[in-house]
Structure 1
Amino acid sequence: MKNKYLWIVVSVIALIIVAAALLPEPIDTNLEKIGNGQRSVVFVYDLNLSVSNQQANEINRAREMIGEQANFLVVKAGDPTRNDFKERYQTRSADLLFFNGDGELVDRQRALMNAETLIEKLTD
């Protein structure tokens, strides 16, 4: 009986480890990467919009496809620490802001944009 419970505990721990390994890496929030020589996309994530989760999934897909060739960044819509950024670029929830390697805003779109289109905009 004792071995049975041990086996169950070990199985649950292994399942949690596997599930954690399969989770996507969180999208970076470090806006200081804008202008570091790589193109960047900043997504204004709003927890209250279902499109935000869909767009986050597409950003993760794009990041898997092109890796570190571009900066994939996120700003949470309600985060008061990012008010300067949001005011400077007049952002709205679900905005996608595209910056060149020098940090200049070159395009603005609204979510939902699929991974392939994101990559195309970042590699033009």
Structure 2
Amino acid sequence: MSSKRKHTAVKNKKQAMGPKKRTLKQHLRRLRGWGITLVVIAGIGGVAWFYQAQHADMRDISVVGNGTPTVVQLFDQNCVTCRQLDKNAKAAMRSFGDELQFRIVNLNVPSGQAFAQRYNGGQTTLLYFDGNGRHVTTVTGVQSSADLRESFELLVSG
């Protein structure tokens, strides 16, 4: 028998046998793989939800003027210096507790752009408001957390 005929005969024999049956162990391995994938996807979704829930109040600028001084950062997630200022500002905020509020305005949405225009601000900007909601000062550019802590102290002390 030629090799071509053998190959066809083997192929026909495999087709006649039907699909290969998987063992229980193979099924369990496959299910475990899908289970791991689902756990990873659920974990990522959970982290994203937690982050959103944790930071939803950070975007609520309606608190400006509620009696507590507030620092509002004009933030663009595509801006490297904005992220550095955010990191430094949050580090400086740690020592103030409820004495000072920190909020973020997203410059990538129309309402954020309108808010920034109202106060002549842009990327890498912090706006300081007293407890009555009066705009006190604007800080632009990346500042160290120590410098921000000092300026926050002045805002809190009134």
- TM-score category (smaller protein): 0.7 to 0.9
Correspondences of 1:16-35 after superposition (within 5 Å): 26=55, 28-35=58-65
Instruction: Determine the C-alpha separation between the residues in 1 that align with 2:83 and 2:58.
Output: 15
SS for the counterpart of 2:82 is helix
Give how far 1:46 is off.
1.3
Query: Alignment RMSD, CA only?
Result: 3.3
Q: Which residue of 2 aligns with 1:56?
A: 86
Q: 2:149 aligns with which of 116, 119, 122?
A: 119
TM-score of the pair, normalised by structure 1: 0.73
Aligned residues: 120
More strand by share: 1
Give how far 1:63 is off.
2.4
Larger radius of gyration: 2
Q: Which residue of 1 aligns with 2:135?
A: 105
Provide Cα deviations, 1:32-68, integer angstroms capped at 9, x if missing partner. 1111111111111112221111111112212222222
Which ranges of 4 or more aligned residues in structure 1 deviate by more than 4 Å? Answer: none
Unaligned runs of 5+ in 1: none
Q: Is the 8 Å Cα contact of residues 46 and 78 (structure 1) preserved in structure 2?
A: yes
Instruction: Determine the C-alpha separation between the residues in 1 that align with 2:68 and 2:148.
Output: 14
Q: Using the TM superposition, name which of 49-58 and 84-93 deviates more.
A: 84-93
Give how far 1:86 is off.
2.1
Q: Which residue of 1 aligns with 2:112?
A: 82
Q: Which residue of 1 aligns with 2:66?
A: 36
Instruction: Determine the C-alpha separation between the residues in 2 that align with 1:103 and 1:54.
Output: 26
Unaligned runs of 5+ in 2: 1-31
Give how far 1:74 is off.
0.6
TM-score of the pair, normalised by structure 2: 0.59
The 3 A distance-change label for structure 1 pair 67 and 111 is farther
More helix by share: 2
SS for the counterpart of 1:65 is coil
Q: Which residue of 1 aligns with 2:4?
A: none
Which protein has greater RCO, CA pairs closer than 8 Å, 6+ apart?
Answer: 1
Q: Is the 8 Å Cα contact of residues 72 and 103 (structure 2) preserved in structure 1?
A: yes
Q: Is the 8 Å Cα contact of residues 39 and 122 (structure 1) preserved in structure 2?
A: no
Give the letter for the 1:47 counterpart: Q
Q: Using the TM superposition, name which of 70-79 and 80-89 deviates more.
A: 80-89
